[in-house]
């Protein structure tokens, strides 16, 4: 018999305290002190184990069974959060609250490669398969990089690319974006399903884009990084996609492709904001310049808003 993902998502959080209470009831006949120990220790051990269910048991699940998103939809993640919140110690995953330190370290709970604010089980190790869901997509690259790099030694070029990756990762990960390096670009995914983003996804994206430009401007040296940034919002297919021998948590769809086109249309230190993002900002900036741009692969011009943070400073 196959247990559906929603039933499974509900079973695990109730099963863990259930086992603890039953074990405590049985041991209380022998010793009340032992019963108290069992009551507290069993969830502490079983819940991270149950959390790792994805890694241990997901291989048997059918494709398109995106457990993490199913679990979010069924409310099971919030049940986990209540349990995990009781376990020591910080820092902990911002989706499921499983601790990275203390018992989490013992059980090898490790941070995600896409953003260390989340655990691998919630992101990297969730089963293969995609779900259609809302996502904010930000693309950023270094403007004029090809011309700049053609006149410099490879070691200097590599150093600049590493510096760009480091700066972009540091700034974008602060708002819980999932980061992916695509050639000399960085793609950041902002999932409103994450508790820290929700209705502020568009605000978080624009804020991060402005911080990126500002941070680069503040750096010493005669030749600061200048970015082209495109941001878009909409429904895309999100989840773990097979890429050769490994799977990768990513987003696929027109929203992603359009975000890349918007970035390509951006000038140095320009942020090209899609209409879908602009309309969901809490306070759309008045200095944004409305424009229609011709994007490759699009029959109609795209209405966008252009922002130049360095010009406003």
Among the candidate windows 16-24, 63-71, 122-130, 286-294, which touches Zn ion by CB under 5 A?
122-130
Give me the least distance between CB of 274 and Zn ion, in Å please. Answer: 30
Nearer to Zn ion among residue 118 and residue 233 (C-beta): 118
SS3 35: helix
> Quick one: which of 12, 87, 119, 260 contacts Zn ion (CB under 5 A)?
119
Binding piece for Zn ion, criterion CB under 5 A, among 89-97, 125-133, 171-179, 266-274: 89-97
By C-alpha distance, which of 67, 87, 69, 73 is closest to 16? 87
> Which residue number, 142 or 177, has a Cβ lying nearer to Zn ion?
177
Longest CA–CA span in the chain (Å) reads 80
- Candidate ranges 121-129, 134-142, 216-224, 279-287; the one touching Zn ion (CB under 5 A): 121-129
CA dihedral sign, ordered 60, 63, 65, 68: positive
Does the footprint of Zn ion cover residue 95 (CB under 5 A)?
A: yes
- Given a contact cutoff of 8 angstroms between Cβ atoms, the answer to whether 167 and 159 are in contact is no
Angle (CA) 6-9-13 rounded to 5° is: 145
| Among the residue ranges 25-33, 73-81, 116-124, 263-271, the one whose residues contact Zn ion (CB under 5 A) | 116-124
Q: Using the rule CB under 5 A, is 96 a contact of Zn ion? A: yes
The number of C-alpha atoms within 13 Å of 165 and in the hemisphere containing its C-beta is 13
Q: Which burial class, exposed, middle or buried, applies to 104 when counting CB atoms under 10 A from its CB (0-12, 13-18, 19+)?
A: buried
Nearer to Zn ion, 9 or 122 (CB): 122
Q: Supply the minimum distance, in Å, between the C-beta of residue 21 and Zn ion.
A: 25
- Kindly state whether residue 122 participates in binding Zn ion, applying the rule CB under 5 A: yes
Q: Cα 310 to the chain's mean position, in Å? A: 27
Nearer to Zn ion by C-beta: 87 or 273? 87
Task: Provide the b/e sequence for 29-48 (b: ≥16 CB within 10 Å).
Answer: eeeeeebeebbeebbbebbb
Tell me: does residue 109 bind Zn ion (CB under 5 A): no
Which of residues 95 and 255 has its CB atom nearest to Zn ion in the complex?
95
Q: How many residues bind Zn ion (CB under 5 A)?
A: 5
R_g of the chain, CA atoms, integer Å: 23
Binding to Zn ion in span 48-87, by CB under 5 A: none
161: left (phi over 0), alpha (psi -120 to 50) or beta: alpha
- For Zn ion, which stretch binds (CB under 5 A), given 120-128, 160-168, 185-193, 215-223? 120-128
In the complex, the smallest distance separating the C-beta of residue 122 from Zn ion, rounded to whole angstroms, is 3
Residues 6+ apart with CB under 8 A from 4: none
Q: How far is the CB of 175 from Zn ion (least distance, A)?
A: 17
Q: Is the alpha carbon torsion for 256, 257, 263, 266 positive or negative?
A: negative
Interface residue with Zn ion, options 50, 93, 225, 265 (CB under 5 A): 93
User: Within positions 141 to 170, which residues make up the interface with Zn ion, using CB under 5 A?
Assistant: none
**Using CB under 5 A, which of the segments 88-96, 164-172, 273-281, 282-290 binds Zn ion?**
88-96
The token duo for 146 is 């090809």
Which residues of this protein are in contact with Zn ion, per CB under 5 A?
93, 95-96, 119, 122
């Amino acid at each position: 018999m196959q247990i559906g993902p929603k039933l499974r998502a509900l079973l695990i959080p109730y099963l863990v305290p259930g086992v603890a209470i039953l074990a405590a009831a049985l041991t209380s006949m022998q010793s009340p002190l032992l019963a108290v120990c069992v009551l507290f220790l069993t969830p502490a051990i079983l819940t991270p184990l149950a959390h790792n269910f994805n890694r241990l048991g997901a291989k048997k699940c059918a494709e398109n069974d995106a457990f993490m998103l199913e679990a979010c939809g069924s409310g099971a993640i919030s049940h986990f959060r209540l349990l995990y919140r009781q376990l020591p110690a910080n820092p902990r995953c911002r989706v499921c609250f499983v601790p990275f330190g203390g018992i989490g370290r013992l059980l090898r709970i490790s941070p995600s490669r896409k953003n260390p604010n989340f655990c691998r089980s919630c992101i990297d190790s969730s089963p293969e398969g995609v779900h259609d869901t809302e996502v904010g997509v930000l693309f950023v690259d270094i403007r004029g990089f090809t011309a700049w790099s053609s006149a410099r030694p490879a070691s200097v070029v590599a150093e600049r690319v590493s510096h760009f990756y480091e700066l972009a990762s540091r700034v974008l990960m602060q708002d819980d974006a999932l980061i992916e390096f695509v050639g000399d670009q960085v793609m950041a995914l902002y999932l409103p399903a994450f508790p820290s983003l929700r209705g502020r996804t568009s605000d978080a994206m624009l804020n991060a884009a402005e911080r990126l430009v500002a941070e680069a401007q503040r750096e010493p040296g005669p030749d600061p990084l200048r970015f082209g940034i495109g941001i878009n919002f909409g429904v895309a297919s999100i989840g773990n996609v097979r890429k050769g021998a490994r799977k990768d948590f990513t987003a696929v769809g027109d929203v992603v492709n359009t975000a890349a086109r918007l970035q390509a249309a951006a000038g140095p230190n320009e942020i090209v904001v899609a209409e879908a993002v602009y309309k969901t900002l809490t306070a759309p900036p008045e200095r944004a310049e409305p424009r229609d741009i011709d994007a490759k692969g699009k029959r109609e011009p795209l209405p966008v808003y252009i922002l130049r943070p360095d010009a406003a400073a």
